[in-house]
Amino acid sequence: MPRNHDSLSSRELLARIGLTDTGTYDLLDDEPLEDLSGDLGAALRERYRLLTRRHAFAPGDLVTWKPGLKNHRIPRYGQPAVVVEVLETPVLDQEAGVAGSTYFREPLDLVLGLIWDEEPCRGELMTFHFDSRRFQPWTEGQ
């Protein structure tokens, strides 16, 4: 029977969106947030309070996401990252130049180092820019 070229196998579809056998992506890596089942207004106020609470970070500090403020795939909740640099003047995210993007003009003032967990650079220290308002000091066992 000839194969219909418009249909894709599930493996082909996953490969097209970047999910392959070589990459290990847990699409459900985060637990559902409990406070979203109750008063949404209270949850919004709490997120705002967390976002506006500043921490003074210095190179060498270990940090992690504040609850409910993670806006990138890495690092995962509870995973530490090391502060490599605190930028005096934030870099504004220019890659997502559309005002409707969650990254539009995000002030990236924190350079964090992470141990990369995927091939081909598995085990290497990689650095990324982040918005420091979304991070808090990391403590063992978080």
pTM: 0.71
Residue 101 pLDDT: 74
How many CA atoms are closer than 13 Å to the CA of 82, on its beta-carbon side?
A: 10
Residue 39 pLDDT: 84
Domains identified in the chain and CATH numbers: 10-137 (2.30.30)
Residue-wise pLDDT for 13-62, tens only, equals: 666 666 666 555 555 455 556 666 678 898 899 999 999 999 999 999 99
First to last CA, the chain: 55
Residue 70 pLDDT: 94
Q: What is the mean pLDDT of residues 63-70?
A: 95
